[in-house]
């Protein structure tokens, strides 16, 4: 299993950032290239991951805890993807966002090498994109 985790401080209120992060229709704006998510029912999503020539599609769950400002997701079929995003207030108009991803099974990113490195970069990219989207939303 591979574990990926990065954090970023964003100069925007935690509530604003969390509302953007949990909006499935806005996820394409901040998720890494090659990852698409669409709603398929209450707390259900269909995800597509494209890495190189491979496309992996699966049904998953996406649960939002508004009080804790936490998203949790995973693959319903036990395909090896799960994770969470936590948004914590750091002070007035400032928050810390942690993005965590677990990958197991026979996925290339779970065993190291180039796919592992790319996935790690994508986690950082997603946080940067979420920060930019949040900053745009308040200007």
pLDDT in tens, 27-86: 999 998 888 899 999 999 998 877 678 787 889 999 999 999 999 999 988 778 899 999
Please give the CATH superfamily to which domain 2-33+62-138 belongs: START domain (3.30.530.20)
Percent of the chain residues topping a pLDDT of 90: 66
pLDDT value, residue 48? 85
The pTM is what? 0.91
Query: Are the CB atoms for 61 and 74 separated by under 8 Å?
Result: yes
What are the residue ranges spanned by the domains of the chain? 2-33+62-138
The alpha carbon torsion through 125, 105, 48, 59 (nearest 10 deg) reads -120
């Amino acid at each position: 299993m591979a574990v990926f985790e990065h954090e970023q401080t964003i100069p925007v209120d935690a509530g604003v950032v969390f509302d953007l992060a949990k909006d499935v229709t806005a996820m394409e704006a901040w998720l890494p290239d090659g990852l698409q998510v669409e709603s398929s029912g209450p707390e259900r999503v269909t995800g597509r991951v494209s890495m190189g020539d491979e496309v992996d599609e699966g049904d998953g769950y996406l649960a939002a805890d508004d009080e804790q400002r936490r998203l949790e997701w995973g693959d319903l079929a036990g395909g090896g993807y799960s994770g969470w995003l936590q948004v914590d207030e750091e002070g007035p108009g400032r928050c810390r966002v942690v993005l965590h991803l677990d990958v197991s099974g026979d996925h290339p990113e779970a065993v190291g090498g180039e796919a592992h490195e790319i996935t790690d970069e994508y986690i950082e990219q997603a946080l940067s994109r979420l920060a930019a989207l949040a900053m745009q939303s308040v200007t």
